Structure 1
Amino acid sequence: MTIATINPATGETVKTFEAIADAEIEAKLAKAQQTFESYHRIPFAQKAQWLNAAADLLEGQAADWAKLMTLEMGKPIQGAISEAKKCAWVCRYYAEQAPHFLADVAVETDASRSFVRYQPLGAILAVMPWNFPFWQVFRFAAPALMAGNVGLLKHASNVPQCALAIADIFREAGFPDGAFQTLLVGSDKVAQIVADDRIKAATLTGSEFAGASLAATAGKAIKKTVLELGGSDPFIVLDSADVESAIATAVTARMLNNGQSCIAAKRFILAEAIADRFEQGLIEKFQSLKIGDPMDATTDVGPLATPDILAELDHQVQQSVQKGARALVGGAPLDRPGNFYPPTILSDIPIGTPAYEEEFFGPVALLFRVAGIDEAIKLANSTPFGLGASAWTADDAERDRLIEELQAGCVFINGLVKSDPRLPFGGIKRSGYGRELSVEGIREFVNIKTVWVK
């Protein structure tokens, strides 16, 4: 795959990069190992100082990082600015909390002293996607570096400048050169890197295929992995819900990042009593969205990241319509330069169509009608994915059932699904395993050592 910055709003190739050769991969692995030998002994206070310095750089130059993200993958500039600032938040969060999360935990046993100690593993490989090119990396890197691990980043091939900029941020913040390195390599080199003895574990955010491939390679080498894969998140609206709030939130939940988010609301499951009202409100909101240059602060929806993503999304829509689904809004690529697909709503979706069975990674909302909560939960759980779920109700009994019965890594009641450094994030089923963020995230890549002293 070509490693290049290609402006998705125009199709222009801005800059290309040569993949590094095996000799340079070897040099970076050796540097990571050498750095770890001293880095893991550095006190929390020093690592926290560096991580807070990284947060300062992220906040102070948020507009610059945002322009780079928008140039490479097309997200609206305001969302890109927010992404840079959220990365600063996760840095500050772990700078403050890591000493508490990784402190020895005393356990009363028949020994004179027994406790659990958390120790770093070594070099961790992160295989990251293009859709949140800064956030996905920093939510791995901040806890990994505070735990005393060192990181190696294999970023998506269409965001190479973001990948290099992130490594520069950590260096400028004061981290040793080998603490966090970017590898400009194609996906064909991932298995080779994972298999190397100096890599102790790996994490991947991306497709099911990529996750399965990484996990298989790591499994052969008996190495820990954390996977955050696809999602087909339900957005359930029941009779008792505040429908107007649900509609307003639904637009954000589906259109965030031009619809290219694993935790975007994708399947809108509506109780029959409020379905017409919700549908009409959503149509009006979608039709009012401004499509255009993602560098323009007034743009609501920008281009999809690549022509292939555009083609795949349109194929899914056309196949669904041909098999009986109705396009209420949108439904075809825009006739203009760039990878633009309009906000689209599909309804009357038959079983066996892509809209019923697959993840749609773009600004397409899928509407389903149900008789009540039993049918809503059954439909929500009918997908092979289990990342997030949003549900809207004012009834306490319904709320408790939704929390208990929805098969997902996170359930948000009366709000959109989002990641938060203070809460664990991850999925079940084919959405992956393991957790990022919070205390659970920082403990994924440590040796949880039992100590017993008589």
Structure 2
Amino acid sequence: MSNTRKTINPYTEEILEEYTLMSQQECENAIENAHNCFEEWKLVPVEKRAKLALALAGEIEKNHDEILQLMMDEMGKIKAQGKQELALCIAICKFTAQNALQQLANEEREYEPGRAIVSYQPIGVILGIQPWNFPLYQVIRYSISNLVAGNTTVMKHASNVFGMAQKIQTLYENAGFPEYAYQSLIVDGKTASKLIKHGKIMGVTFTGSDETGKSVAQEAAKYAKKTVLELGSNDAYLVLDDADIPLAIETCVIGRVINNGETCVSAKRFIVTKKNYDEFKEGFKKAMENIKFGDPKADDTDLGPMARKDLRDELHDQVSQSITGGATIVCGCEIPEGKGYFYPASILENVMPHTPAYDDELFGPVASLIKAQDDEDAMRIANDSRYGLGGGIFSRDEDKAVELALKHFNTGMININGYGLAHPNLPFGGVKNSGYGREHGGFGIKEFVNIKAVMITNTQ
């Protein structure tokens, strides 16, 4: 296999850059450098690490336009949503800086012979393996919390966003972080997997498909190394009997086509009770047909191209398999002619269990529309999934919706009468095949620390 990788603009299909992959030895050298850096970095006071997180926020702001251009060029993100991703990353850096002291502070605990201290100590070099769909956010969200905690990081980014990978390392260096505290490794997935067993890698965080995530976790488990996994999902959005249908339609369209439909925690299965099904379907179809796809840089574009041709082809294969399994087309579901890896906003209905549109993750702008008999049946269908990352409920009875969310909906995150991605002050993560561990909200900063108990016996 070639030791080079090319990045391709998914809108123009033109080659952007060609990158030479690092060798196994170069990667191992990077890990050794990260470990040597860690030995000094772990002794830097949390206050100073937090100040550098604020400096990183400033570097992201300073490089706003260049980063936005990379997002649009490398993976086809539309301009408005690229700006939102940048703003989110800045907010994450600031939240981490503002809350690190409290989150990592020593705690005094009762200890009968004297006193005890519980402390949160960094553990070493953390390997990150991250995807392309949020090319800045996915990296910042895990790396800044680990660096402020006192760890160092080496990161394998997706090969179609290697330009962003290099840019992120420059951002960290320009913010004042020590050399080797953060490093982007220009490697393929096979090489990255081999790095898990390296003696100086102390933990692994992975975002991607559930199949690959399980392989990463299995490899890490051989060496008793902790992992955090944020995997795929087919999030269900429930439109209950008492739902505000216009609100549900408007929100569900946003939730399905955001980030060109290539979002783990986005609306994918739309479970609508029999009472509202026809009204919702009519409005949903009209709204999806009005979604405009085109140049990611244009202000009036709603939907950009998919990130790679193979991803679009895979999505269309899933649609075709679902139709063979009984699903019918409401709109879209055909690859348009012309340049760019586009797929239109699409809806399938009569979606059957044991088909991709029901069981799997459709990572593109295709909605699965499912009719439920009543509210109870809708909840049953929503939980009939191997995944559990996010989800949504539409109901005018807020108390009932909260009750369902807290006690019955088996996912890590739930929206009620709205849709949102990630928030710096709230935990992000899932259950079941959507993974384990949490990021954001002060939880991620403690995922890769040694929770150490120190017991002091009173000798007087």
Instruction: State the TM-score bracket (shorter-chain normalisation).
Output: over 0.9
Aligned equivalents of 2:235 and 2:420: distance in 1? 9
Q: For 1:235, which of 221, 234, 237 is the aligned residue?
A: 237
Aligned equivalents of 1:202 and 1:330: distance in 2? 39
Q: Which residue of 2 aligns with 1:108?
A: 110
If the length of structure 1 is used for normalisation, what is the TM-score? 0.98
Residues 296-330 of structure 1: CA distance to partner in whole angstroms, max 9, x if unpaired? 12211011111111011111111222332111110
Aligned equivalents of 1:260 and 1:398: distance in 2? 27
Instruction: Answer yes or no: is the 8 Å Cα contact 1:390–1:417 preserved in 2.
Output: no
Q: For 2:20, which of 18, 21, 26 is the aligned residue?
A: 18
Aligned equivalents of 2:224 and 2:175: distance in 1? 34
Aligned equivalents of 1:208 and 1:324: distance in 2? 25
Counterparts of 1:184-199 in structure 2, within 5 Å, are: 184-199=186-201
Instruction: Answer yes or no: is the 8 Å Cα contact 1:107–1:116 preserved in 2.
Output: yes
Aligned equivalents of 2:166 and 2:380: distance in 1? 45
Aligned equivalents of 2:375 and 2:405: distance in 1? 8
Q: Which residue of 1 aligns with 2:82?
A: 80
Counterparts of 1:5-404 in structure 2, within 5 Å, are: 5-395=7-397, 396-404=399-407
Q: Which residue of 2 aligns with 1:411?
A: 414
Residues 424-451 of structure 1: CA distance to partner in whole angstroms, max 9, x if unpaired? 1111111111111112211100000111
* Residue 19 of structure 1, CA deviation: 0.3
* Residue 288 of structure 1, CA deviation: 1.4
Counterparts of 1:426-437 in structure 2, within 5 Å, are: 426-437=429-440
Instruction: Answer yes or no: is the 8 Å Cα contact 1:348–1:368 preserved in 2.
Output: yes
- Secondary structure of residue in 2 paired with 1:410: coil
Q: Which runs of 5+ in 2 are unaligned?
A: none
Instruction: Answer yes or no: is the 8 Å Cα contact 1:388–1:417 preserved in 2.
Output: no
Aligned equivalents of 1:376 and 1:181: distance in 2? 46
C-alpha RMSD over aligned residues: 1.2
* Farther-moved stretch of structure 1 (17-26 vs 256-265): 17-26
Instruction: Answer yes or no: is the 8 Å Cα contact 1:393–1:399 preserved in 2.
Output: no
Aligned equivalents of 1:388 and 1:358: distance in 2? 14
* Residue 212 of structure 1, CA deviation: 1.2
* Farther-moved stretch of structure 1 (349-358 vs 403-412): 349-358
Instruction: Answer yes or no: is the 8 Å Cα contact 1:269–1:370 preserved in 2.
Output: yes
Aligned structure 1 segments of 4 or more residues deviating by more than 4 angstroms: none
Aligned equivalents of 2:5 and 2:443: distance in 1? 34
Residue 425 (structure 1) aligned with residue 432 (structure 2): no
Aligned equivalents of 1:310 and 1:441: distance in 2? 32
* Residue 112 of structure 1, CA deviation: 1.8
Aligned equivalents of 1:165 and 1:399: distance in 2? 42
Instruction: Answer yes or no: is the 8 Å Cα contact 1:122–1:149 preserved in 2.
Output: yes
Aligned equivalents of 2:260 and 2:290: distance in 1? 15
- Secondary structure of residue in 1 paired with 2:38: helix
Aligned equivalents of 2:18 and 2:307: distance in 1? 16
* Farther-moved stretch of structure 1 (204-213 vs 103-112): 103-112
Count of residue pairs the alignment pairs up: 454
* Residue 398 of structure 1, CA deviation: 4.4
Among all aligned residue pairs of Structure 1 and Structure 2, give the percentage whose two residues are the same amino acid.
39
* Residue 165 of structure 1, CA deviation: 0.3
Aligned equivalents of 1:24 and 1:401: distance in 2? 51
Q: Which runs of 5+ in 1 are unaligned?
A: none
- Secondary structure of residue in 1 paired with 2:329: strand
* Farther-moved stretch of structure 1 (159-168 vs 406-415): 406-415
If the length of structure 2 is used for normalisation, what is the TM-score? 0.96
* Residue 115 of structure 1, CA deviation: 2.2
- Secondary structure of residue in 2 paired with 1:438: coil
Which AA in structure 2 matches 1:426?
G
Aligned equivalents of 1:180 and 1:351: distance in 2? 44
Q: For 2:441, which of 421, 438, 442 is the aligned residue?
A: 438
* Farther-moved stretch of structure 1 (231-240 vs 23-32): 23-32
Which AA in structure 2 matches 1:266?
K
Residue 453 (structure 1) aligned with residue 459 (structure 2): no
- Secondary structure of residue in 2 paired with 1:400: helix
Aligned equivalents of 1:251 and 1:141: distance in 2? 32
Instruction: Answer yes or no: is the 8 Å Cα contact 1:237–1:246 preserved in 2.
Output: yes
Aligned equivalents of 2:435 and 2:354: distance in 1? 24
Aligned equivalents of 1:112 and 1:287: distance in 2? 70
Instruction: Answer yes or no: is the 8 Å Cα contact 1:373–1:398 preserved in 2.
Output: no
Instruction: Answer yes or no: is the 8 Å Cα contact 1:434–1:444 preserved in 2.
Output: yes
Aligned equivalents of 1:360 and 1:436: distance in 2? 24
Instruction: Answer yes or no: is the 8 Å Cα contact 1:36–1:150 preserved in 2.
Output: yes
Instruction: Answer yes or no: is the 8 Å Cα contact 2:293–2:344 preserved in 1.
Output: yes
Aligned equivalents of 2:113 and 2:72: distance in 1? 57
- Secondary structure of residue in 1 paired with 2:455: strand
Which AA in structure 1 matches 2:294?
G
Which AA in structure 2 matches 1:401?
L
Instruction: Answer yes or no: is the 8 Å Cα contact 1:69–1:75 preserved in 2.
Output: yes
